[in-house]
Amino acid sequence: MDRANLIETAERYFAAVDAKEIDRVLAFFVPDAVFTIATYDTVYRGRDGEIRGMFERLFARYAGIWHGEFDHVVAPPDRLACRFRVVNTAASGERRHKHNCNFFRARGELFDEVFVFMSGDNSLR
């Protein structure tokens, strides 16, 4: 992918996460994708197994999720780093603000590796 496509794909992915649309989120990953939360030494393998479970837990845990204020660094054709803000809203209305960085590697038009560095608690446990 070129620079614009990598950025657009990442922002569509985050929009799907924010909408809590599990099938749309998973459609961004190859079947054998690896999703690593580097700050917590946690690895999820396989789009339809462990990665799906991670997102199902995230979506159940929070009433609202927001990602924004992106800064992107692109290394075409297959690498993208994103720095951004996150706001997770609990059912009680309590908001948790985070600052994260994700590093993506694409295989064709889909992600095959994601490395996450996050501030605060591990919301992807």
- Return the CATH number at 60: 3.10.450.50
Dihedral through CA 106, CA 31, CA 52, CA 80, nearest 10? 0
Burial status of residue 52 (CB atoms within 10 A of its CB: 0-12, 13-18, 19 or more): middle
Residues 6+ apart with CB under 8 A from 125: 40, 42, 57
Asked if residue 26 is part of any domain, the answer here is: yes
Asked if residue 124 is part of any domain, the answer here is: no
pLDDT in tens, the chain (125 residues): 899 999 999 999 999 999 999 999 999 999 999 999 999 999 999 999 999 999 999 999 999 999 999 999 999 999 999 999 999 999 999 999 999 999 999 999 999 999 999 998 888 88
Asked if residue 41 is part of any domain, the answer here is: yes
Q: How far is 33 from 111, CA to CA, in rounded Å?
A: 7
C-alpha atoms less than 13 angstroms from C-alpha of 51 in its C-beta half-sphere: 24
Domain count within the chain = 1
